[in-house]
Structures are given as structure tokens and as C-alpha cells.
Amino acid sequence: MFGKIDSPLDKKLSKVKWGEFKVGDLFKIQKITKMLSKEDLHSSFEYPVYSSDSSNNGIIGYTNEPEFICNENHPVYVTFGDHTRTFNIARYSFSVLDNVKVLVPCTSDINTLLFMVSCWKKQIPNLGYSRHWKVAKNCVILLPIINERKIDFDFISSFIAELEAERIKELEAYLKVTGFNNYELTKEEQDSLAVIGTKNVQWHDFKMEELFEKIPTIKLPYKAKELPKEATEKFVLPCLTSSFMNQGLNYYVPKEGATILKNVISIPSNSDVYRAYFQSNEFTVLSDAYAIRWKDKSIHISQNQYLFMVMCINKFTDLPIYSYKNKLGSWNVVKNMYVLLPIRENRIDFNFMELFINAIKKLTLKNVAEYSDNRINATKEVIKHS
């Protein structure tokens, strides 16, 4: 079920007795009476709103009037993205958009829920952008049992705790080997954060077509539904579609005959979520999306600078006014829009972009390192008695 796991966890799994359980007996679906839309959301509001999006743990915005309240009676809920098969555990009061199912689980233990939803998701076939609940609700999953039929919640919780501690140790070792454990900010990086914090950055509007150009690509003779979702011996190149899952890269095509792209920005042209991404690895374009790059070949744009500009581009593409019905459209539409970028002495401040993104990366790494330290310390007792 979980594949080969290094000792002693693999030995524990080998001794487990398993029982079959209907997910309908473990998760009770809730009626949704206050379905929100993107227009109802605001970043200054307090309570999260879940969508079917697979990024940002499903949270697409915030509301001040949550429909589902997390309290002593219902400390946690589970949300299910109908289009994406994405499960999220909600521990704070929240609301949802369309295409999301809200479930009350049979346990509030987070480790147990992680185990259960992992088992559940493995039983749900990927139907692409179709709805998945019609299949998901009828799934039967295997869970550890004691006394012939009772779910062994204690084993599940301790197993996930040990597994997490083991993986965090591996992460800690990886950070050290790669040098990512150095997250001390330089003075220049600190200054870039301070300037943003005090809102002292100068900004200027630039027309997209003055800065970027669409990259011509060879039309491929494939349909997404006919392509593998994992790399095979021949189909090794990720290809871009309008999906917002995995940055739009969910299928694979052969390299032969394809336009191979790297270190560029991708944008969907026909989607519910018009979010640009920086693509740092090789890929190609399949359908309903395109790629753009910096137009001025005399200026080299670094990955950090591209990442900064992607955030700026998403300020006008990733908006509630755009949807599958109310399309943002192709490059012919986007090229006439304006992107707000930082300037210094009336020129685009590429140095500021570089410093700011590097500072954000280091702060993220610091949070990961501190989290790993805390989790390792918290699970020492679990490992000791395993």
C-alpha cells in the first residue's frame, strides 16, 4: 500500500492485519448552503475558502462569514476537490467554492486522517477534468485493524508520526548536502524586505508585449486523454495544458518532433484558473496554453527575476473576473495588458527582484529547518519506543 519502507517501519507493516471499510462509513458528506464565488473573497478577510485548486492546500481566498465552524463538536473537516481529487484537512472555520465536497471524518486525529485520505486517493482513478466524487464516494479502502474488525487508530497515528520523523531527517540531511541550510539574510536582502514592508518601492506599468514575446511551438499530434500521466521509456517530456494541477504539466510526450522549452513563463489560454508559472525544467506545449519569454535578448533574466515577474503577472491574470466561461484568452488578449514592476531611476529594477526573491527563499528554508527540528524533537519518544 505504501511501497517499500526502510526498517523498522516495513517490518511493522508486514505484521498488520487489514480490513475493508466503505468511505461512506468513515466520512459523512455535509450539505453546502452558502456556495461562494471568487467575487466574494478578499485577502484581508479572516477565514479560508477552499476551491478545487490543488495549490496552496486548496485555499483560494478568504471570507468573514464561514459556513463550516470548527469547534469542540467538529474540530476538523476534510474537503475534496471534485475536479482535482485533492484532499485537504480543515482545522479552522471555512467556506467553499463550487466543485468542493465537505466531509466530517470519523476521527479528528490528523495523522490518522492523513493515512486515511492517502489510502482513499489511491482508489480514485484520474478522470482528467471530469468530476470524481461519483467514483470517490463508492470507494472501499483497507485500514489496519485489531480485534478482527475495529480500526487500529493507535497504530495508524504512531506509524504516520514515525514516518514523518524519518522523512524529516532525510530532508534535514538533504538541506545540509545541498547547502540549503544556509538561510542567513545578507544586508541587501534584508533591505529588500524592509523596502517592501514600508511600501517604499517605486512601481511602473509596462505593456506585456513590450517586455515579453510568445514562443512559437510545433503543434503536436496528440490528445491529452491518450497520453500517459507518468514518464515512460519513450514518453519522457512533460507537456503543458490549461490545467492548474502541477503547473499545467500532467502528461508526457516523446521529445522527437517537439519544441523543447525551459526557463520560461507558461500561461493557460482556456481555464478556470489563469495562473502563470515559471517553468524551470524542460517541457513542451500541448494545448490550451502557451509560453512567453523576455523579449530583449541583450538582457539575461535569472530564475529569481522570472519568479518575481510571475507574481506580478498573476496580479492581473489570476483574478475572480476570469473563468472558463469568461475567458482571459490567448496572447492576443494578454499582450495588451499592463504589468506593474519595480523601477529605480526610471529603469526596471532587476537587482531588487533578485534580492527580494532570494530573501523569500531563505526565509522559507529557515521555516522548513525550524519545522524539521521541532518535529524531530516531538517524535523522539515515538521512535524510541518503536
Q: What pLDDT digit, counting tens, does each position of 61-79 carry?
A: 899 999 999 999 999 999 9
In 295-326, which positions are buried (b, 16+ CB within 10 angstroms) versus exposed (e)? Answer: eeeeeebeebbbbbbbebbbebbbeeebeeee
pLDDT tier at 244, thresholds 50, 70, 90:
confident
Same domain, residue pair 205 and 155? no
Gap between the Cα atoms of 248 and 285, Å rounded: 10
What percentage of the chain carries pLDDT values higher than 90? 58
Same domain, residue pair 28 and 102? yes
Supply the pLDDT for residue 107: 95
- Over range 289-303, report the average pLDDT: 96
Supply the pLDDT for residue 342: 95
- The set of cell numbers assigned to 38 is 471568487
pLDDT tier at 368, thresholds 50, 70, 90:
confident
Domain that holds residue 110: 9-160
Same domain, residue pair 148 and 219? no
The CATH number assigned to the domain holding 114 equals: 3.90.220.20
Domain count, the chain: 2
Gap between the Cα atoms of 234 and 254, Å rounded: 6
Please give the DSSP secondary-structure letter assigned to residue 185: P
Same domain, residue pair 147 and 224? no
Supply the pLDDT for residue 14: 79
- Over range 114-138, report the average pLDDT: 91
Does residue 255 form part of some domain?
Answer: yes
- Average model confidence (pLDDT) across the chain: 88
